[in-house]
Amino acid sequence: MSQCNPWGRNVPRLIAVIMILLAPLASAEERPKVGLVLSGGGAKGMAHVGVLRVLEEMRVPVDLVVGTSAGSAVGALYASGMPVSDIEQRFIEMDWLSSFRDDPGRVYKPVRRKQDDWRFPVVPGIGVRADGLRVGGGLIAGQNLGFILNELTHNAALVEDFDRLPIPFRAVATDLETGEQVVIGDGNLSEAIRASMSIPGVYAPVERDGQLLVDGGVANNLPISVARDLGADIIIAVDITDSLMETDELRGAFSVVGQLTTIMTRRNTDQQLDLLAEDDVLIRPDLEGYTSADFYDAPVLFELGASSAREHGVELRPLALSRKAWADWRDSVSAQDAGARIVSRIEIEDSRRLARDFLKERIRQRIGEPLDTARLEADLKRIYGLGYYEIVSYSTSSLPEGTVLTIRVQEKSWGPNYLSFGLSYEDNFDGETRFNLASSLRMTELNALGGEWQTGVQLGTEPWVRSQWYQPLDYGYERFLVLGGEYSRDTFSLFDAAGTRVTEVDVTFRKADLALGMEIGGNAEVRLIYARGYATVDEQIGQPVAPEGSVHQGGLAVQLVHDSLDDTFYPRDGGFAGLRGRFEREGLGSDREFDSVTGLALGTGSWKGLTLTGLVFGHAVTRGTPGIENAVRLGGFRRLSAYAPGEITGDNALMVSAYASQTFGGPLLPWFVGAGFEAGNAWPSLDEASWDSSVKSSSVFAGVDTFLGPVQVAAAYNNEDNWTAYLNIGFSFTQLFY
């Protein structure tokens, strides 16, 4: 008789219970490795963000991310742990247009550069050397794009191995020499993104490890093979590659070039699509009607990507985790606070022409202190604003003793001497026309401290020539010396009390000047100026108002300027304040003795395209008699617009004005309409100045903002029932002071 074995009967049950208990662990271990592949496509890449949102809604984890071009930017942010909602908000708020400019903005230029802006606004990248003219590459170096990417990847700045990101990541670029793909899995994350999205012919290539890298879409726009090589079991591929255009769409040069680019990316994309397996998921958002340049349609592109992903819900559902497993996964891939990074060393790559001390002095970051990214970027933008460098960038790396900050500069290959140009035009359709062409040659880096020699010439109705030497007295450029000589000729009309032109006068000015100055912060400077020269009344038509001949001028001036305007011609933010005291004395070489003070205050701000600007200008003689050559002349466009240029002339003057304008048309070619009000006058003496004796001018205007400055048409009406019209190109408020 066999004996009863209770264990024999219970073993199967025990095994079954153990299997049930271990099932979640087994399923977790057996969960397929999901690889997310994001293609390039410019602005259309924002559809990727909508796909990510749906993956999170469905609780689909991603174990690795591979991206090309725009896909690398979106993929890197997600891989670094940035929440999808934050990515969306960053893209909506981003000034995309600035990424296609190298100039970080006028506010970061020194005051002396800003002073030149209104006369020489066009800087085409023409260099002058002993062997002839040199032209810049015409490509965007990526200065602003680099700052944007550094800020976006801030929390991952010290991660040099992309496998150590919250989600392993790879960016795909193209070797410009061989045309082969380059898979970037280490180094600086922002630099990897920058290389992957360097569109040929738009952005300059990125040099990395001896290779020149451009947009990865040239070699592999949908890098499924890369994800497969990294061990992805299931691939979710998001393809936003452009479709080929039909024959009837290929009529223009740009469409042909675009088609050739699409053929290249479409071909390598189709090759990658052949690698998809049955269990893989291919998402193709319907982006018909949108282009790679539609950056400001971010919310719509998000939704188009999301709706397309939801259509694949049945395919994605098997990859979803339970709520608890999803919460655990989300915690594991959340971005870690970078914390305070103590800078242990600052390295500056060798500069070919300027001393390393120049760069060290202008960077306020100190060793042993936490890295202040905002202040560092402001310093680098101000270095760039000097105009010496093609690109100024930084990166960080981690060592046991702390963070190493590396500053990289690349001098302009077409420098160090540069040409710039300008044009101004004003016509009141009543015989008063002013037209000027200007050009400047600026020779830079003439000594270790950064000495400069600039010569400007203006031809037209207001001829002008100036040559000056600018010499910094320290590496920080806080103190400087300016020695210059200037010639100018001014033709102006004088009017009687009834507004009738009675005479036309030509006055020629010749002077030499020496100034000692100091920068104050980044947007202000003070100068002590000694000037010596003479003014000559050359010709008078009509009633004589001054003896012809030369009047010697000689005196001191103290000038304080603050300029934080964001644009020379059409400012939308910032302010300007200028104050100058002038003291002419016989002992300093002048035939006249007088004191005067000139001031200009300007403030502007914008909200949703509405720009409000207020201005106060004043000039007063506090002692002596200055003579007609020093008189203040108002009238003309935005100088009491309803009056002819020079119609309001006197030794003392005051003008207050306010303008409101609304901008339309988007960031590429904005146009605007607006209205203005001006009040003021000129008087022989301060005792006669009063609000009751002021004249008023109201105006309406419209224009388009161009690289030469706004092209505007305006109509103005005064309180004497007179009106006038204007066509103006290149007016700047700051020229009222300078």
Catalytic residues: 69, 215
Query: Which residues, 6 or more positions from 568, have their beta carbon under 8 angstroms from its beta carbon?
Result: 106, 114, 117, 118, 121, 709, 732, 734
Query: Which residues, 6 or more positions from 280, have their beta carbon under 8 angstroms from its beta carbon?
Result: 234, 235, 236, 237
Q: How far separated are the first and last CA of the chain, in Å rounded? A: 120
Three-state secondary-structure class, residue 88: helix
Nearest alpha carbon to residue 534 among 462, 584, 596: 584
Name the phi and psi angles at 291, rounded to 5.
-115, 175
Name the phi and psi angles at 105, rounded to 5.
125, 150
Could you tell me the two tokens for 260? 């050739």
Query: Which residues, 6 or more positions from 481, have their beta carbon under 8 angstroms from its beta carbon?
Result: 470, 471, 473, 514, 515, 516, 517
Rounded distance, CA 527 to CA 535, Å? Answer: 23
Strands 281-283 and 234-238: parallel
Nearest alpha carbon to residue 661 among 650, 680, 676, 647: 676
Q: 675: which strand partners?
A: 660, 700
Rounded distance, CA 48 to CA 34, Å? Answer: 16
The one-letter code for the residue type at 348 is I
Rounded distance, CA 296 to CA 267, Å? Answer: 29
The CB density around residue 545, as the number of other CB atoms within 10 Å, is 13
- 559-586: burial string, b at 16+ Cβ within 10 Å, e else: bebbbbbebbbbbbebbbbbbbebbbee
The CB density around residue 180, as the number of other CB atoms within 10 Å, is 11
DSSP conformational letter for 335: P
C-alpha R_g of the chain: 33
Strands of 8-139 (E only): list them. 34-38, 64-68, 122-129, 132-135
Rounded distance, CA 23 to CA 511, Å? Answer: 92
Could you tell me the two tokens for 367? 């060793």
The CB density around residue 489, as the number of other CB atoms within 10 Å, is 17
Could you tell me the two tokens for 454? 């600039």
Whether the Cβ atoms of residue 732 and residue 118 lie closer than 8 Å to each other = yes
Rounded distance, CA 160 to CA 165, Å? Answer: 9
How many whole angstroms from its chain centre is CA 594? 44
Query: Which residues, 6 or more positions from 692, have their beta carbon under 8 angstroms from its beta carbon?
Result: none
Q: How many helices (H) and strands (E) does the chain have?
A: 14, 31
Q: 242: which strand partners?
A: none
Query: Which residues, 6 or more positions from 394, have their beta carbon under 8 angstroms from its beta carbon?
Result: 150, 376, 377, 380, 405, 406, 407, 408
| Total length of the chain | 738
Whether the Cβ atoms of residue 464 and residue 456 lie closer than 8 Å to each other = yes
Rounded distance, CA 172 to CA 156, Å? Answer: 18
Nearest alpha carbon to residue 439 among 460, 452, 461, 422: 422
Strands 671-683 and 695-706: antiparallel
Nearest alpha carbon to residue 637 among 515, 526, 573, 732: 732
Whether the Cβ atoms of residue 484 and residue 456 lie closer than 8 Å to each other = no
Q: What is the DSSP string of 221-272?
A: SS-HHHHHHTT-SEEEEE--PPPPPPGGG--SHHHHHHHHHHHHHHHHHHHH
